[in-house]
């Protein structure tokens, strides 16, 4: 379990690096116009898809080790889990967009009040969307497999999410900008 957890942390670091989440300070302000977007590696989509594949394989190993499902339980659990992963993937894609936008705006010298508010609102909505998925699939796994398996699913997903969130947060730039008087 420890080895799998460390692999997940390492993979989360790869993902953070792949989307350019670094704590590099914003470049000094100049009189030149900032580029419309920060440079993004040409193979970013490929890197993210490779990461996602490796990460999901590590998650499945962790779930297998932790839940130790019987054959009958596995036949009920894995189809539900695959639906969950599909929905979670859509939330993750939106999260990458928000994080990438935040990093780009930070690299360009800071956030306006409007951008900061928009990014904060979208981040909170993404957290709520993930929580809603956990509730939905906890209920579905509890009803279809057992309440204990539902609780175990929720525990493992939450622990993995905490590791990934902490890794990403450690790589995020600090929110910079000058608040506008109200």
- Please state at what angle helix 147-171 crosses helix 113-144, rounded to 10 degrees: 160
Listed in sequence order, the residues at least 6 apart from 137 whose beta carbon sits closer than 8 Å to its beta carbon are: 80, 81, 83, 84, 153
Q: Give phi and psi for 113, each to the nearest 5.
A: -60, -40
* CA–CA distances in Å: residue 17 to residues 96, 105, 172: 12, 17, 10
User: What was the pLDDT predicted at 152?
Assistant: 96
User: What was the pLDDT predicted at 167?
Assistant: 85
CA proximity to 103, closest of 37, 167, 162: 37
With contact defined as beta carbons under 8 Å apart, do 16 and 168 qualify? yes
User: What was the pLDDT predicted at 10?
Assistant: 47
User: What was the pLDDT predicted at 157?
Assistant: 94
- For residue 88, count other CB atoms closer than 10 A to its CB: 19
One pLDDT digit (tens) per residue for the chain, 182 residues: 444 444 444 445 545 444 444 444 444 444 444 444 445 556 656 777 777 778 888 899 999 999 999 999 999 999 999 999 999 999 999 998 888 888 888 888 777 888 888 999 999 999 999 999 999 999 999 999 999 999 999 999 999 999 888 888 887 777 776 666 66
Is 2 in a helix, a strand, or coil?
A: helix
CA proximity to 23, closest of 163, 169, 123, 178: 169
User: What was the pLDDT predicted at 69?
Assistant: 95
The whole-model pTM stands at: 0.73
């Amino acid at each position: 379990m420890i080895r799998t957890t460390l692999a997940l942390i390492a993979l989360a670091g790869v993902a953070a690096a792949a989307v350019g989440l670094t704590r590099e300070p914003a470049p000094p302000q100049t009189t030149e116009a900032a580029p419309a977007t920060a440079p993004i590696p040409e193979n970013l989509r490929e890197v993210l898809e490779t990461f996602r594949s490796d990460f999901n394989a590590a998650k499945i190993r962790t779930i297998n080790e932790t839940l130790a499902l019987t054959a009958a339980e596995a036949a009920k659990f894995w189809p539900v889990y695959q639906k969950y992963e599909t929905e979670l993937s859509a939330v993750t894609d939106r999260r990458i967009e928000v994080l990438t936008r935040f990093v780009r705006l930070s690299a360009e010298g800071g956030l306006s009040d409007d951008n900061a508010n928009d990014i904060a609102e979208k981040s909170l909505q993404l957290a709520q969307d993930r929580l809603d998925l956990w509730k939905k699939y906890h209920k579905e796994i509890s009803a279809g497999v057992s309440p204990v398996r539902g609780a175990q699913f929720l525990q493992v997903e939450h622990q993995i999410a905490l590791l990934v969130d902490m890794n990403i947060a450690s790589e995020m730039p600090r929110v910079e900008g000058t608040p506008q008087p109200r």
